[in-house]
Amino acid sequence: MLAHIRREKILELLREDGSAKVLDLARIFKVTEVTIRQDLEKLEREGWVIREHGGAYLKDMPDQVQAFSLAHQDHLDKKALIAEKCMEFIEPGDTIILDAGSTTTEIAKKLRGMRRLTVITNAVNIALILGAEPGIEVIVTGGEFKPPTLSLTGQKAADFFKGLHVQKLFLATAGISLKAGLTYPSISDLVVKRAMIEAAETTYLVADSTKMGKAAFASLGALSLIDYIITDAGIDARHRQVMQDNDIELIIAQ
């Protein structure tokens, strides 16, 4: 892997996890700790990170967490349309899982005022959005806190879903491609998302069209893991064909 590409991947990981250790990054990217330190030094000079003993953290992370805002706020118009479409598949009496993410946060906003609904989530911000709703029971997983996504992750979060059976999961993703499948910047999220899928009768992947054809660092698995993809009208014909070839029903929000 070329140095500039590796640094881009390191920054992508930090934007997801908030911080990382030199030792872990060296293992992930299969390079020496000296090389990772040099990468972090360059990222610090460019103003992206702040180095600390044994690792680094995203420069704007403390302010972002204190403001309780998500790091990924692009394409919100598309995400709002997708969230509105999701409402057609959520009924009173349902128990649903809302994954952490900006699109699922938009779904949570649309759920305000709904009655007889149980929402299980690993997103702290979603819990706060819905926690005061009298008609909605909110259940939050345990786990390790990830500042940029305001979410709980790791094995403890995954263990929460063992033995659960819910009607619907609304799953987030960073990238969708035929070769890599469903991909995410953070390895720690994979075990949580697998547990969510196993607990759900039906899985809806919610992803705006800019995610199509992209691959992030870690792969969750093949597209066959999901039942439906809810996206916006910006998806092109090539990616529509990929979904059709994999027997995945595509639902367009417009």
User: Rounded to an integer, what is the distance from CA 49 to the centroid of its chain?
Assistant: 21
Report yes or no on 71 lying in a domain: no
By DSSP bridging, strand 144-146 and strand 151-153 are: antiparallel
What pTM was computed for the model?
Answer: 0.83
pLDDT of residue 71: 55
Position 64 in a domain: no
State which of 26, 59, 92 marks the end of a domain: 59
Same domain, 99 and 192: yes
How many Cβ atoms sit within 10 Å of the Cβ of residue 142? 13
Cβ proximity of 205 and 171 under 8 Å: yes
- Provide the pLDDT for residue 118: 98
pLDDT, position 65: 60
Residue 245 within a domain:
yes
156, 199: one domain: yes
**What proportions of the chain, in percent to the nearest 5, are helix, strand and coil?**
40, 25, 35
Asked if 52 and 136 sit in the same domain, the reply is: no
Same domain? 110 vs 198: yes
Same domain, 91 and 46: no
Based on the domain organization, do 90 and 207 belong to the same domain? yes
Is residue 30, in this structure, part of any structural domain at all? yes
Domain count, the chain: 2
Does 149 lie in the same domain as 188?
yes
Question: Would you say 189 and 226 are in contact if contact means Cβ atoms under 8 Å apart?
Answer: no
Residue type, 151: S
Question: Do the domain assignments include residue 70?
Answer: no
Low-confidence ranges of the chain (pLDDT < 50): none
Output the domain CATH number for residue 13: 1.10.10.10
Q: Does residue 65 fall inside a structural domain?
A: no
Domain end: 34, 59, 84, which one?
A: 59
Same domain, 26 and 85: no
List pLDDT tens digits, range 141-190. 999 998 888 899 999 999 999 999 999 999 999 888 878 889 888 788 99
d(CA 208, CA 120): 22
Name residue 174's amino acid.
A
170 and 104 inside one domain:
yes
Give the side-chain half-sphere CA count within 13 A for 3.
11
pLDDT in tens, 204-226: 999 999 998 888 778 898 888 99
Task: Tell me the residue range of the domain where 101 lies.
Answer: 76-253
Tell whether 67 is covered by a domain.
no
CATH number at residue 90: 3.40.50.1360
Within-domain flag for 66: no
Is 40 found in the same domain as 139?
no
